[in-house]
Amino acid sequence: KALQVLTARLQEKDRSERAAKEAATRKGLIGSGDRSDRIRTYNFPQGRLTDHRINLTLYKLLMVMEGDLDEVIHGLQVARGTELLAELEQRNSL
């Protein structure tokens, strides 16, 4: 019986650690919802699109709104590639 209690406690500890890790990951992906968590700003009077996550500003808002997303997508791909390289370098340094 003591072994069953120990097993149950270990399983509960493992489950709660996984849940905490998933919650932290989810919060990191979603953000707090504050105005400070801006992702992208569309400024129509100036014809400007700014993606705050990757520090990309384009003065082609009308073209982007009409579907010309190549520069936005390219900027996002470059930023993601940089993130992946940084993660890889960090893993290799451990």
- Reduced to 3 states (helix: H, G, I; strand: E, B; else coil), residue 45 is coil
pLDDT computed for residue 1 by the predictor: 80
**DSSP H or E segment with residue 20:** helix 2-30
Contact 41, 52 (CB under 8 A): yes
| 6-47 confidence digits (pLDDT tens) | 999 999 999 999 999 998 888 877 766 666 677 899 999 999
Phi, psi (rounded to 5 degrees) for 58: -125, 140
Most distant pair of Cα atoms in the chain: their distance: 72
| 63-81 confidence digits (pLDDT tens) | 999 999 999 999 999 999 9
| Prediction pTM value | 0.59
